[in-house]
Amino acid sequence: MIRGEKAIKLYETKYKNGEFSSPVEISGIFDDAKYWIYSAVVSPDSKYLVFNSYGAPGGVGGEDIFISKRGKSGWGKAVSIGAKVNSEDEESCPRFSRDGKYFFFTRAKNLGNYEFREWDIFYIETKFLKFEQLFKN
């Protein structure tokens, strides 16, 4: 994946009285705005924002999955979702089952030179990812 000078940004809107508000950029998830934030999903309980980023601090491969916790003033600093998901290969496409019991993601073996093997789909019971513990540092 080749990065340009501008990052992919994430926006949030609210639905009220049958209408969506104007989009507002979500900022502050990383200390440096150069890191891409994409393929984002909010957990079914609305407590967590899970997304991909490429080459961001705390990652282990090129493309990894990160998580941010919702606080009183918005989304907090992102942390890696952890070694049960992220590896030296490429992880992408985070998703939750409707009831939040399962977490799904994809992984592809990085062959170098921006070449990858086929993407495989994995899942894990969400409770084993221990989201709350990720933010206890």
User: What integer pLDDT is reported at residue 66 of this predicted model?
Assistant: 97
Q: Residue 68 in contact with residue 94, Cβ under 8 Å?
A: no
pLDDT at residue 5, as a whole number: 57
Position 5 in a domain = no
Q: Quick check: is 69 in a domain?
A: yes
N-to-C CA span, the chain: 31
**2 falls within a domain:** no
What is the span of the domain harbouring residue 47?
11-134
pTM, entire model: 0.88
* Residue 16 counted as domain residue: yes
DSSP string spanning 46-61? Answer: SSEEEEEEES-TT-SS
**According to the model, what pLDDT value does residue 75 have?**
94
Is the residue at 4 inside a domain?
A: no
Structural domain total, the chain: 1
Give the chain's residues under pLDDT 50. Answer: 1-2
Task: Let me know if residue 100 belongs to a domain.
Answer: yes
Residues 6+ apart with CB under 8 A from 39: 51, 52, 92, 93, 94
* Model pLDDT, residue 55: 85
What was the pLDDT predicted at 21? 96
Q: Which two tokens stand for residue 20?
A: 């969506």
Instruction: Please count the residues of the chain.
Output: 137
Q: What is the pLDDT of residue 1?
A: 42
Q: Could you write out the DSSP letters of every residue in 76-94?
A: ---EE--TTT--SSEEEEE
